[in-house]
Amino acid sequence: MYTEIQIALQEYYAYEFPVNLCIHINNVNKINDGWETVIYAFVVDIEQAGERTHEELILRIYSGAGGTNDSAREFRGMRLLHECRYPVPEVQLQGDDDSPFGAPFVIMDRIPGQVMGQVMKNAPQEEIRDLLSQFCELFVNLHTLDWHPFVDSFEQFIKNDPYQFVDNWINNGKQGIQQYQLQGFTEALDWFAEQRELFPCSQPSVVHLDFHPNNILLRTDGQAFVIDWSQVSLSDARFDLAWTLVLVSAYMGKEWRDQILAGYESYHGEIIDRIEVFEAIACTRRLFIVVASLTHGAETFGMRPDTAEIMRQQMGPLSNVYNRLQTITGIKIPEVDLLIE
């Protein structure tokens, strides 16, 4: 019996490709519900002039507000990354709200293998060290890519301003506080704004903004591929690194955070100065997203409606994030106190 998604895929391929092709969609399986997307694996077999091709693919559907922009950003970013020979699945197709799936989507190659985070859970210590080394090398390689090919994709980029990314974060924070009436976050934002001039950025980097072991796929031959690029942009690499350190510390423990920072600095070739300040920014961002999502709806941030319930079930990691913010800044946020209590 055909599923709704299988029928939609069949209709889409029949519309997009010439009528002289014989197209079969098979093995459609939901493999993941993320905060922003629903992901399906499927197989497409195409017959033409007696020849047959077989492709294993991924369908990524963006169900939240802003999905059109996110899908277009991810498709363009992954295409550029693939052209730069950075290890990402090759994207094939992208569509908007009027798609047969009722939402924007991206179709890309499927990478057979395992999620790095899952492999780490059961691996011996020596293998974990090797995986962390691979993870850190991937991260540094991303931040040291030639960023120039990505400029045309991101219209807000301004040349020759070393504070553009810091100022952008501060301004977005002010707008978010006003929009969602979360005045308790003002002190944390002001704390960072007071130190603005200490953090010029000498050159932008391509950033992922959700780089963690569960977004790394390990192919059966050991080759690693990075997925989930809906936030790819140009920014200060320290924002990207700090977000990773905060997530890893909250969900896996501080010792993992310390190992990743040490590995990153080793491949980078220098100490990352005042990374704790950027971790405070990442903590504030994480806390703000959760509080605003629970009070105004997760769809506001381009996430699926049921993401709010997932957030409620993760108060332990959220408390870890809040504790880290207080350790660095000493600042308390009334809205977060109320939520955790």
pLDDT (0 to 100) of residue 156 = 54
Kindly state whether residues 77 and 162 are assigned to the same domain: no
pLDDT (0 to 100) of residue 232 = 96
Name beta bridge partners: 43.
Answer: 26, 56
Instruction: Check which CATH number belongs to the domain holding 143 and give it.
Output: 3.90.1200.10
pLDDT (0 to 100) of residue 1 = 44
Q: What is the pLDDT of residues 135-156, one digit of tens each?
A: 999 999 999 999 999 986 555 5
Kindly state whether residues 170 and 310 are assigned to the same domain: yes
- Highest mean pLDDT among 35-44, 152-161, 295-304 belongs to 35-44
Instruction: Check which CATH number belongs to the domain holding 16 and give it.
Output: 3.30.200.20
Kindly state whether residues 149 and 69 are assigned to the same domain: no
pLDDT at 300 over 90: no
pLDDT at 227 over 60: yes
Kindly state whether residues 134 and 256 are assigned to the same domain: yes
Alpha carbons 168 and 176: distance in angstroms, whole number: 12
pLDDT at 126 over 70: yes
* CA-closest candidate to residue 89, choices 115, 111, 114, 60: 111
Counting residues of the chain whose pLDDT is more than 90, the rounded percentage is 70
Q: What is the pLDDT of residues 14-51, one digit of tens each?
A: 888 777 678 889 999 999 777 778 999 999 998 877 78
Kindly state whether residues 101 and 220 are assigned to the same domain: no
Question: Where does the pLDDT of residue 158 fall: very low under 50, low under 70, confident under 90, or very high at 90 and above?
Answer: low
| pTM confidence score | 0.92
Instruction: Provide the residue range defining the domain that includes 9.
Output: 4-109
pLDDT (0 to 100) of residue 311 = 78
Kindly state whether residues 81 and 134 are assigned to the same domain: no
Kindly state whether residues 168 and 304 are assigned to the same domain: yes
Domain count, the chain: 2
- Residue that terminates a domain, selected from 109, 124, 147: 109
Question: Where does the pLDDT of residue 57 fall: very low under 50, low under 70, confident under 90, or very high at 90 and above?
Answer: very high
Dump the DSSP string for 182-245. -GGGHHHHHHHHTTGGG---SS-EEE-S--SGGGEEEETTS-EEE---TT-EEE-HHHHHHHHH
